[in-house]
Structure 1
Amino acid sequence: MMKPCQICFSFAQQFDACYCTFMKSLPAMLQQVLLCAGLCSVLASANAQQFSGQFTSLLSQEVLIQHASGQQHADAAHLSVTMPASLQQSAEAHWPPSLMKQVVRWQKAPFGRHASIVTGWYANGQKALTVTMRQQHLHGNWQSWYSNGQHRDSGRLEHNQPDGMWKLWHANGQLRSVRIYNANKHDMIQLALRQQNPKLTFQPLAVQSLKHPEQLHRHTRANAVLPAMAGEETAPDLPFSAGLPHGVVEDYFANGQPVIVGQYNTGLKEGPWQYYAANGQLSASGYYWQGHRHGAWKVYTENGKLKLLQEYVHGRLVHSKQYHR
């Protein structure tokens, strides 16, 4: 009885003989074509294996930079930061400056085939941020923390644009803001403004931007959608410079009292909005239509009594009555 290795050798000899007989029966020109095709296939396979090896080697590398003076300073705000070169090349990505100058250690690790997870730490060892990057873009989940460990902000980015729900917190752990963004609608409006006949668009923000080009920037820039509130020196420092708001709006003071409750529709304020004072009393309320005040607007005193009644029509004030208490 033949052993397995003998059987394989016998089969290989028979296959080789059949292959040689087949090749001899073909015209000389066809033989050369088949041989060239086989050689190209072998070379392509070898190149693919080599490229795969280089790619795997590239993904297996982790970039880890520790600032030399990171342990010598108690105040992390004064630390200078050297970001990994691959992150510095992502010119379109918006890294929050106030957060970046506090990060003293970076790590970039592979995440899938074309993505990576970037993580940063404060000098005290607390994690500062974690974000997914794809081809030099902020693309995926973003989450950051204060140096005391409390959440700072979280959300999702699509090629450097916010998409979906974004939440921000105060340093004491209290929820600060909730916004919903839509990256797809933002791209659609920009595309509508670039088309051959932009007047065919029916998006209110696009129509307004045709007459006044600055309107798109005004309604989508980050510090306009999320401005500073009472007690804050500056607007929140976010990982994006612009985004199209589309959905619920909620802002809260550090004590948990509401500041603003409303909603956006494709970048414009729409529907009822309420504004509150720090003591929880309603300070103003009214209705927006395509970004303009429309209908009755009421302004209240600190103790909740009606102080001013105004009537608007598509942003134009048509009537006003003041109450003396």
Structure 2
Amino acid sequence: MYRYFIILILFLIYQFAVAQNVGQPGNDSIINYTDIQGNKQGKWIRKYDKEKIAYIGYFKNNKLVGNYKRWYYSGALKADINYNADGSIGYAKLYWDNGKLMAKGKYINQNIKDSIWEYYGTDGALLLKESYKNGVLNGNTVAYFRNGNRSKCAPYNDGKLDGIYKEYWEDISGLVRLEITYKKGVRYGPINVYFDNGKTYLKGEYFSDLPHGKWTIYNKDGKVEKEMEYYHGKLKNEEKYNEEFKQQMKKWEQMKGKIPEPTEEDFYTPKQKSQQPQNEY
């Protein structure tokens, strides 16, 4: 009985010693270790198969610490993230399988986006910048054309559009095509649409997300083409306007102005479609 007791004590001492030594970057003596609480500790290596490594990282109490790398099945680097000592902050670079940078930014609490994130196409072009606060959009989200000019600018406050949302003409840097005012995610205030010569095409107002008051359409020379009156979303004297015009106005009304998350087609140039990553991080 005494002998078994001694063995148990020695086993517990060993477990304690292991727990103290693992979980530290640079300590590679034990790999893929899980402690008695079920937490990953120390160096971990995962493979797609016997030869191909999926990731290498260091864990401390089930949280990544130090450098973490992940690879595509092809062997190309997929993610390179450097975490601080307790894993609360990580600076990430994510890659396409052609070696080009896909995205970079800051994580908090392992995988929550924070601060500025940038996204790139497979050709290296910057396509989108987002500002986060604890995983929620906060600040300006800016999209870009492939020529480097701004495409859209959307101001967010606590995850909701708040301020003047803008879209731009592609070929003239900084020339505004559309402006809509938002308050806490709701269209509230002026809408202005412009020709590519800078002159006003449409001018109107929103009230609680609905067209309200006088709306005016101009031609390229600046002359008034049409005037209409809205009352809380309903067009007065609707019978005066032809079907084509009403459909055009309906299209404007349906446009909420939010910048969508980038799709695959946004990121790929036609010649690079074959380089699509098979396993996104």
- The verdict on a shared fold, with TM-score over 0.5 as the criterion, is yes
Give yes or no for the alignment of 1:64 onto 2:38. Answer: no
1:244 to 153, 160, 163: 160
Q: Secondary structure at the match of 2:102?
A: strand
Q: TM-score, normalised by structure 2?
A: 0.57
Give yes or no for the alignment of 1:121 onto 2:90. Answer: no
What's the offset of the Cα at 1:155? 2.0
Q: Secondary structure at the match of 1:62?
A: strand
Larger-gyration structure (1/2) = 1
What's the offset of the Cα at 1:142? 0.9
What's the offset of the Cα at 1:296? 0.7
Q: Alignment RMSD, CA only?
A: 3.1
Cα distance in 2 between the residues matched to 1:154 and 1:264:
20
Label 1:122 to 1:315 Cα distance change in 2 as closer, same or farther (>3 A). Answer: same
2:78 to 85, 98, 105: 105
Q: Aligned residue for 1:269?
A: 187
Preserved CA contact (<8 Å) 2:67 2:80 = no
What's the offset of the Cα at 1:157? 2.0
- Structure with the higher fraction of residues in strand conformation: 2
Q: Aligned residue for 2:106?
A: 132
- Report the residue type matching 2:108 in the other structure: R
- Report the residue type matching 2:193 in the other structure: Y
**Which runs of structure 2 are paired with 1:1-325 in the superposition (5 Å)?**
50=19, 54=23, 57-58=58-59, 59-68=65-74, 105-111=78-84, 113=86, 114-135=88-109, 136-183=111-158, 243-256=159-172, 257-319=175-237
What's the offset of the Cα at 1:244? 1.3
Preserved CA contact (<8 Å) 2:72 2:97 = no
Cα distance in 2 between the residues matched to 1:69 and 1:142:
25
Label 1:299 to 1:62 Cα distance change in 2 as closer, same or farther (>3 A). Answer: same
Q: TM-score, normalised by structure 1?
A: 0.50
Preserved CA contact (<8 Å) 2:95 2:103 = yes
Label 1:303 to 1:118 Cα distance change in 2 as closer, same or farther (>3 A). Answer: same
- Report the residue type matching 2:226 in the other structure: L
Runs of 4+ in 1 over 6 A off after TM superposition: none
Preserved CA contact (<8 Å) 1:312 1:319 = no
Give CA-to-partner distance per residue, 1:30-78, whole Å, 9 cap, x none: xxxxxxxxxxxxxxxxx799569626653124223144175xxxxxxxx
What's the offset of the Cα at 1:160? 3.4
Q: Aligned residue for 2:249?
A: none
Cα distance in 2 between the residues matched to 1:49 and 1:165:
47
Label 1:165 to 1:112 Cα distance change in 2 as closer, same or farther (>3 A). Answer: farther
What's the offset of the Cα at 1:253? 2.1
- Per mean C-alpha deviation after superposition, the further-off stretch among 171-180 and 111-120 is 111-120
What's the offset of the Cα at 1:176? 0.9
Cα distance in 1 between the residues matched to 2:228 and 2:85:
56
Identity rate, percent: 18
Preserved CA contact (<8 Å) 2:69 2:78 = no
Preserved CA contact (<8 Å) 1:65 1:107 = no
- Report the residue type matching 1:300 in the other structure: Y
Preserved CA contact (<8 Å) 2:143 2:153 = yes
Q: Secondary structure at the match of 2:147?
A: coil
Cα distance in 2 between the residues matched to 1:120 and 1:179:
24
Cα distance in 1 between the residues matched to 2:141 and 2:17:
41
Label 1:296 to 1:108 Cα distance change in 2 as closer, same or farther (>3 A). Answer: same
Cα distance in 2 between the residues matched to 1:149 and 1:124:
10
Preserved CA contact (<8 Å) 1:66 1:106 = no
Runs (5+) with no aligned partner, structure 1: 1-46, 71-103, 184-242
- Give the count of matched residue pairs: 186
Runs (5+) with no aligned partner, structure 2: 1-15, 26-57, 60-64, 242-281
Label 1:49 to 1:303 Cα distance change in 2 as closer, same or farther (>3 A). Answer: farther
